[in-house]
Amino acid sequence: MKELPQEYYQLLEEIQAADFVLVELSLYLDTHPNDIEAIQQFNQYAQYSKQLKQMFESKFGALQQFGNSFSDANWSWGTMPWPWQV
Amino acid sequence: MNEKHQKSFTTVKSYRPFHSRYDPCKPIGVKYYSTPPNLFLGFQPPNLQQFSAKEALKKGTLWRFFYDYYENPYEKKGR
Amino acid sequence: MWFYEKKLQYPVRVSTCNPKLAKYLIEQYGGADGELAAALRYLNQRYTIPDKVVGLLTDIGTEEFAHLEMIATMVYKLTKDATPEQLKEAGLGEHYVNHDSALFYNNAAGTPWTATYIQAKGDPIADLYEDIAAEEKARATYQWIIDMSDDPDLNDGLRFLRQREIVHSQRFREAVEILKEERDRKKFF
């Protein structure tokens, strides 16, 4: 299997960072459902995460299963390295 | 409004287990235990200071208050 | 319904080839206070807990599977290139004979995972206090594994996981407060 370019790791880390903020905010909002500012921050990051993932997926294939990501003609879901391999 | 002050508590505590004259081994001296920030906050107030997304990922939390770096206290303080 | 996203929550790196550590890491894979126990415990409790707390149990339970995957990645990286000789030296000879380098849900002592590690009393306060205790136990276990490891990259990942336990403990404590229903009550002094 070919090696992954540096760009893969860089973009992936951006996504991991944005998604981590979303997880933290989700847990916070689960116990603080009325914090409007937190909800705003959540939605901002949700938007940002989607943008990053679109970029990532166009270069490196689908991130989500069952149609939550579109597939390319090669069904990259099965061909790109798996997270514990990278 | 609600500025959670710089930490007025410590996150590592220590104690000395009793050493008996009949104990076979050299005494460990001091034992340490962790008292992480979640013990001291109560219900999280809004607007606590946040890390940047990248920093938050590295550190494991979005909020500065909860960050509690762990290192082996026995190695650090020498035994 | 569950979905899988093809990425780790946190970029796991292991810098030293030291399969011995895999034996200790597996404690958080198939052990009593490990990530599998956590995920199954929270996801199972949520069916019979008051609505206002179901979201939290669902979200934390789901995050625990991501942590399980991180531990699996650490173990995988440490054992995938090991020869049987190296595994034997690492104290994993018994494991190899049964599993080769396949992962399995047991603890560091080799005891297989069991549902007796978790509980669901159906009493929200009992369930949440079990959850708080579970998070503190997991936090402590990560401390002990960090103590046993001198791999700086691996320890970064372990510190991340320990930090997550601190935040989870915080949220479960808040859930108890929510269920006490004292928060919006007017207090008279």
- A24 contacts chain B (CB < 8 A): yes
| Catalytic option among C64, C69, C95, C130 | C64
pLDDT tier for residue A80 given thresholds of 50, 70 and 90: confident
Return d(Cα C131, Cα C115) in angstroms, integer: 15
Give the one of B41, B61, B70 whose C-beta lies nearest to C143's C-beta.
Answer: B70
Q: Please name the member of A17, A31, A38 whose beta carbon is closest to the beta carbon of B57.
A: A17
Candidates A20, A28, A31; nearest CB to B57? A20
> Between the ranges A52-66, A68-82, B52-66, where is the mean pLDDT highest?
B52-66
**Structural domain tally of chain B?**
1
| Calpha distance B34→C146 (Å, rounded) | 14
At C67-112, the pLDDT tens digits run 999 999 999 999 999 999 999 999 999 999 999 999 999 999 999 9
User: Is residue C35 annotated as part of the catalytic site, yes or no?
Assistant: yes
With beta carbons under 8 A apart, name residues in chain C contacting B61: 163-164, 166-167
Smallest CA-to-CA distance from C115 within C15, C51, C43, C170 is with C43
Residues whose CB is less than 8 angstroms from the CB of residue C183 and which lie 6 or more positions away in sequence, other chains included: B43, C177
Could you name the CATH architecture of C19-101+122-180?
Answer: Up-down Bundle (1.20)
Tell the residue number behind the tokens 């540096």, with chain if given: A6
CB contact at 8 A, C160 and C9:
no
Are B7 and B38 in contact by the 8 Å Cβ rule? The answer is no
pTM of the shown model: 0.93
- Cβ of C166 within 8 Å of Cβ of B71? The answer is no
Task: Let me know if residue A25 belongs to a domain.
Answer: yes
Is C135 designated active site?
yes
Please name the helix (run of DSSP H) or strand (run of DSSP E) that holds residue B34, with its range, or none: strand B31-34
Residues in chain B within 8 Å Cβ distance of C12: none
SS (H, E, C) B29-74: CCEEEECCCHHHHCCCCCCCCECCHHHHHHHCCCEHHHCCCCCCHH
Domain count, chain A: 1
Q: Which residues of C are annotated as a binding site for Mn(2+)?
A: 35, 64, 67, 135, 168
- Minimal CA–CA distance to C13: which of C145, C157, C146? C157
Residues in chain C within 8 Å Cβ distance of A82: 6
Name the token pair of A18: 């944005």
Residues 32-71 of chain A with CB under 8 A from chain B are 32, 35, 37-38, 45
Decide: helix, strand or coil at residue C15.
Answer: coil
Q: How do strand B12-15 and strand B31-34 relate by DSSP bridges? A: antiparallel
Full domain range(s) for residue B27 = 3-66
What is the structure's pLDDT at A68? 86
C95 labelled catalytic: no
pLDDT class of A1 with cuts at 50, 70, 90: low
ipTM of this complex: 0.93
Residue of C nearest to B74 (CA): C147
Judge: A63–C174 Cβ closer than 8 Å, yes or no. Answer: no
Q: What are B34's strand-pairing partners?
A: B12
Annotation marks residue C165 as catalytic: yes
Three-point CA angle A27, A29, A33, nearest 5°:
150
Q: Which residues contact C11 (CB under 8 A, 6 or more apart)?
A: A9, A12, A13, A16
Distance of CA C170 to the CA centre of its chain: 16
What are the domain boundaries of chain C? 19-101+122-180
Q: Which helix (H) or strand (E) holds C62?
A: helix C51-79
- For C8-28, what is the mean pLDDT? 96
Set of chain C residues whose Cβ sits within 8 Å of the Cβ of A49: none
User: Range of A47's domain?
Assistant: 1-57
Q: Name the average pLDDT for chain C.
A: 95
Q: Confirm or reject contact between B59 and chain A (CB < 8 A).
A: no
What is the gyration radius of the CA atoms in chain A, in angstroms?
Answer: 15
Rounded CA-CA distance C29/B4 in Å is 36
Q: How confident is the model at residue B79 (pLDDT cuts 50, 70, 90)?
A: very low
Q: Give chain B's radius of gyration (CA, Å).
A: 18
Q: Which helix H or strand E contains C144, and what residues bound it?
A: helix C124-148
B: neighbours with 3+ CB pairs under 8 Å?
A: A, C
How close A48 comes to chain B (CA, Å)?
12
Query: What integer best gives the mean pLDDT of chain A?
Result: 93
- Is C67 known to be catalytic? yes
Share above pLDDT 70 across residues of chain A, in percent, rounded to a whole number:
98
Query: Which pLDDT tens digit goes with each residue over A13-26?
Result: 999 999 999 999 99
